[in-house]
Amino acid sequence: MVGQWFIKMLNKHPMFKVTAVTSSSKAGLRYDKSTKWLLGSDVPTNLKGIILSDSNPKSIDADIVFSSLPSHVAGEIESEFAREGFLVISKASYYRMKPDIPLVIPEVNFDHMTLVNAQKRRRGWDGAIVTDPNCTTSILALSLKPLHDLLGLNKIVVTTMQSVSGAGYPGVPSYDIVDNIIPYIPGEEDKLRSELKKIFGKVKGEFIEESRVNVIASCTRVPVLDGHLESVYIESEAEAGLKDVIDALRSFKGLPQELKLPSAPEQPIVVREEIDRPQPRLDRMTGTVPGMSVVVGRVRKVGSKSFSFFVLGHNLIRGAAGSAVLLAELLVKEGYVR
């Protein structure tokens, strides 16, 4: 499903042109004939007729490779592409926690890109691998960034309510989820914890010193198609008033906003004031670039140094394909692509 959103977002993109779509098992077939298209009525016209290639770096002509491979094959294939000089932007979890691989959210920690020099040198690669966090992490980390800057976060207690598209396709059997919730997603709580600590970490020479924030996560699967909702409680170092916190969220901008990148929403964080928002179905397509803003609501001060709120993001756009495309745009602007 992430792959299909890549197709959708890169179709008619102002900076990028899709030169190849690879799938080793379907190489040689037409994209629209070999794919069960899941995102509404039809495959985007421009890419419908493209012939799938083998995932072989020798036969691909491109500057950037977007990977949404399953983790167990990503390790090998992505490194082959990096070795051959491609800049690989990966949604796979395989390399995310390796010390020399940047794990980057464009608005949050683009300074981690400095890891790439050490990565190339040590691994002897002409290209490089940059990773995109897990969808749940991306959404949460973006909403926490201005709070971390303002208050210094000590503890985060989060319960997620994640949509079925987060499990891919076919993913969650309908018999498991109609009239039900599953209070467990394999590996998700660990990813949320370790990725957050890396993203909020600081560059120390050639490595990232992890943040010491304490993360307690409980992840659930809910009968929602798209959009992850997260119920967040934080404890902070410093005190602040509710208004200051809301202002910090609302006025937050990152490098992509300053550079006015094509996939950058004007506001990465939209704060809603209605008492019953954000809601997945109503708010998942929020943003001047639809689905690229996260939506925060019900911000409450619940202690002298503690706050609660809900954050929602589209797991396949801000949490995956959109975030990776935005990162690619930023990498081009900042000179990482020759």
Q: Which residues bind a copy of itself (CB under 8 A)?
A: 1, 38, 40-41, 157, 159, 161, 164-165, 169-184, 214, 216, 218, 220, 222-225, 229, 231, 233, 275-283, 285-286, 297-298, 302-303, 306, 308, 310
Query: What's the rounded Cα separation, in Å, for the pair 250 and 3?
Result: 31
Measured from the CB of residue 14, what is the shortest distance to a copy of itself in angstroms?
A: 23
Q: What is the pairing mode between strands 87-90 and 64-67?
A: parallel
User: Residue 328: helix, strand or coil by DSSP?
Assistant: helix
Q: Which residue, 224 or 326, is less far from a copy of itself as judged by CB?
A: 224
CB 139 within 8 A of CB 312: yes
228 catalytically annotated: yes
Contacts of 50 (CB under 8 A, 6+ apart): 18, 20, 21, 30, 31
Q: Which residue, 25 or 304, is less far from a copy of itself as judged by CB?
A: 304
- Which residue among the candidates 112, 148, 219, 228 is catalytic per the annotation? 228
Q: Which residue, 62 or 182, is less far from a copy of itself as judged by CB?
A: 182
Measured from the CB of residue 12, what is the shortest distance to a copy of itself in angstroms?
A: 17
Residue 204: how many CB atoms within 10 A of its CB? 8
Amino acid at 113: M
- Closest by Cα among 150, 133, 251, 237 to 193: 133
Query: What's the rounded Cα separation, in Å, for the pair 116 and 101?
Result: 7
Query: What's the rounded Cα separation, in Å, for the pair 223 and 216?
Result: 23
Query: What's the rounded Cα separation, in Å, for the pair 74 and 290?
Result: 28
Measured from the CB of residue 220, what is the shortest distance to a copy of itself in angstroms?
A: 7
Q: Which residue, 122 or 281, is less far from a copy of itself as judged by CB?
A: 281
Measured from the CB of residue 210, what is the shortest distance to a copy of itself in angstroms?
A: 17
Q: Which residue, 29 or 225, is less far from a copy of itself as judged by CB?
A: 225
Measured from the CB of residue 235, what is the shortest distance to a copy of itself in angstroms?
A: 10
- Which residue among the candidates 112, 135, 148, 314 is catalytic per the annotation? 135
Please identify every residue annotated as catalytic: 135, 228
